[in-house]
Amino acid sequence: MSEIQINLANSIQESEFLYKTRRHPEVDKMLSGNPPSSMAQHTLYLDLVQDKTRWIYIASTFREDSKIFVGYSQIYDLTEETIEIGFVIHPDEQGRGYGKDLVLKTIAKAKEKFPNKKVILYVLRNNHKAKHIYEKLGFIEKTLPSTDEVTLGMELTR
């Protein structure tokens, strides 16, 4: 497995990958909110939030000398004290070890951009694989504003 790189989603190809990934049935059932209904709606959303309140990164790697998009992450400037981060590995790329690398790289970007803010995330309670990765990387369960019977809040302790 080669290491992933993360870059802000700015190109048309990155935007299309993000749109298709977000609309994938396996991804949709793991995330809150509805996927964008059209590429036009998705592009408008990116124009409104990218580099303003959210920083959406595309994770890529090289395989057989070709650049492959494997997932995405985001940093959301939530409050004066807190930022939220989130991650998705495309279902076709899961199980290749990209998840941990994506989480670590996104945490590094978040701490660089917002060094004095707490880092939180939300995960579905039944997403045991993701929860396990987060715990290994220093997140602990925490009651947060959107914590409920389906969604678990977690805060980075390191």
pLDDT at 57: 95
Residue type, 62: F
Integer Cα distance of 84 and 104 in angstroms: 14
pLDDT at 118 over 80: yes
131 found inside a domain: no
pLDDT(130) > 80 = yes
Nearest to 113 by CA among 143, 65, 74, 86: 74
The answer to whether residues 42 and 22 touch, using CB atoms and an 8 Å cutoff, is yes
Q: What is the mean pLDDT of residues 16-25?
A: 91
For position 30, what pLDDT does the model report?
78
Confidence of residue 1 (pLDDT cuts 50, 70, 90): low
pLDDT at 139: 96
Confidence category of residue 45, pLDDT binned at 50, 70, 90:
confident
The long-range contacts involving 83-87, CB below 8 angstroms and separated by at least 24 positions, are: 83/110, 83/113, 83/114, 83/117, 83/118, 83/119, 83/120, 84/119, 84/120, 84/121, 84/122, 85/110, 85/119, 85/120, 85/121, 86/31, 86/121, 86/122, 87/121, 87/130
Predicted TM-score (pTM) of the model is 0.89
Q: Is residue 39 part of a domain?
A: yes
- Residue 156 forms part of a structural domain: no
107/119 Cα distance (integer angstroms): 8
15-44 mean pLDDT? 86
Residue range 8-19, pLDDT digits in tens: 998 899 999 999
Domain range spanning residue 74?
5-117
Cα distance between the two ends of the chain: 27
Is residue 32 situated within a structural domain? Answer: yes
- The tally of domains found in the chain comes to 1
For residue range 63-92, what is the model confidence (pLDDT) as tens digits? 888 999 999 999 999 889 999 999 999 999
Candidates 31, 34, 103, 109; CA nearest to 77 is 109
| pLDDT of residue 31 exceeding 80 | no
What is the mean predicted confidence (pLDDT) over 94-104? 91
Within a domain: 130: no
Separation CA 107–CA 113 (nearest Å): 10
Asked whether residue 91 is assigned to any structural domain, the reply reads yes
Contact at 8 Å (CB) between 124 and 150? yes
